[in-house]
Amino acid sequence: GENVEQHPSTLSVQEGDSAVIKCTYSDSASNYFPWYKQELGKGPQLIIDIRSNVGEKKDQRIAVTLNKTAKHFSLHITETQPEDSAVYFCAAPGGSQGNLIFGKGTKLSVKP
Partners of residue 23 on adjacent β-strands: 6, 73
Q: Which is nearer to other proteins, 29 or 70 (CB)?
A: 29
Binding to other proteins by residue 101, rule CB under 8 A? yes
Using DSSP, state whether 82 is helix, strand or coil: helix
The CB-of-18 to other proteins minimum distance in angstroms stands at 24
Q: How far is the CB of 6 from other proteins (least distance, A)?
A: 8
In the shown chain, the binding pattern of residues 20 to 49 toward other proteins, with x for contact by CB under 8 A and - for none, equals: -----------xx-x-x----xxxxxx--x
Of 88, 71, 70, which Cα lies nearest the Cα of 31? Answer: 71
| Member of 19, 23, 50, 100 binding other proteins (CB under 8 A) | 100
State the Cα–Cα distance between residues 30 and 15, nearest whole angstrom: 34
Contact (Cβ atoms closer than 8 angstroms) between residue 49 and residue 32? yes
Q: Please, are residues 88 and 105 in contact by the beta-carbon 8 Å criterion?
A: yes
| Interface with other proteins (CB under 8 A) | 31-32, 34, 36, 41-46, 49, 51, 89, 93-105
